Structure 1
């Protein structure tokens, strides 16, 4: 597997995932994204992440984040060329859980990018779009 940059689609597995998304129906795209996010999110802490699922989950999270209010469209020559359907709301929480798992050891992906500030910023930015920090409280306590 090759990585050429720290963007969500900057690697072979994510580019292959994008190509597979392009070759399926709108419902199939939702199911593919849900499946990879669920597999990563539910991988136990004592289990190693699947080598291909980890980068695919980052790509899937980027596609989900793109539909959030502060999200930005995925701009990559290696991302899907087909428009994405409207994703169900539950994928947002699943994407957050998958990203959280990706940065929790043991994670070969986080270990491989440990010293790369751009990759860590990519993950952090996705996480903040999917689950924005609250700027104010609803009540004074």
Structure 2
């Protein structure tokens, strides 16, 4: 596995995932994103790099379509347009939580502590963007 930075597409597995999205027919792209997220969430044991890194990249694509989400502008991400991915928001949030968890291999192998902190900070931002907004109950007034 080659990793050259802390961004969600700054590794071979995620860059390959971006290429797979570009190669897929437009109507198959949302399912590829869903599959990457589902594989990470459903991994039975430790979340290994080959499942976790594409899931983080997929979560970044979902987050990019959310309010306060950052666009994916790296050259290693998909270049072709993506369909709406809002319905994948809860699944993407769960994949990010799994990537940050104690059973994730993604937290290992960072030889430069500053890069690890940047990577972890990026995932924490993804988790915050993907978190479902608080919705008041019917008849309940917002507190602000």
Distance 1:67 1:126 in 2: 11
- DSSP 3-state at the match of 2:47: coil
- DSSP 3-state at the match of 1:20: helix
| Match of residue 57 from structure 1 | 55
Distance 1:97 1:72 in 2: 19
Distance 1:113 1:99 in 2: 18
Q: Name the structure where helix makes up a greater proportion of residues.
A: 2
| 1:39 CA drift (Å) | 1.2
Distance 1:5 1:133 in 2: 30
Taking structure 2 as the reference length, the TM-score comes to 0.85
Runs (4+) of structure 1 moved beyond 4 Å?
137-140
Give the 5 Å matches for 1:114-125.
115=113, 116-125=116-125
| Match of residue 76 from structure 1 | 74
Q: Is the 8 A contact 1:113 1:120 kept in 2?
A: no
Q: Any idea what the Cα deviations from partners look like across 1:41-80, whole Å, max 9, x if unmatched?
A: 1224xx0223311100010000000000111210101111
Give the 5 Å matches for 1:84-95.
84-89=82-87, 91-95=88-92
2:97 to 95, 100, 117: 100
Q: What do you get for the CA RMSD once the two structures are aligned?
A: 2.2
Q: Is the 8 A contact 1:66 1:73 kept in 2?
A: yes
> Structure 1 residues 88 and 39 mapped into 2: Cα distance closer, same or farther (>3 Å)?
same
| 1:105 CA drift (Å) | 1.8
Question: Which consecutive unaligned segments of at least 5 residues does structure 2 have?
Answer: 135-139
Taking structure 1 as the reference length, the TM-score comes to 0.87
> Structure 1 residues 31 and 2 mapped into 2: Cα distance closer, same or farther (>3 Å)?
same
Give the 5 Å matches for 1:1-141.
1-44=1-44, 47-89=45-87, 91-113=88-110, 115=113, 116-131=116-131
Distance 1:133 1:7 in 2: 25
Count of aligned residue pairs for this structure pair: 136
Question: Which consecutive unaligned segments of at least 5 residues does structure 1 have?
Answer: none
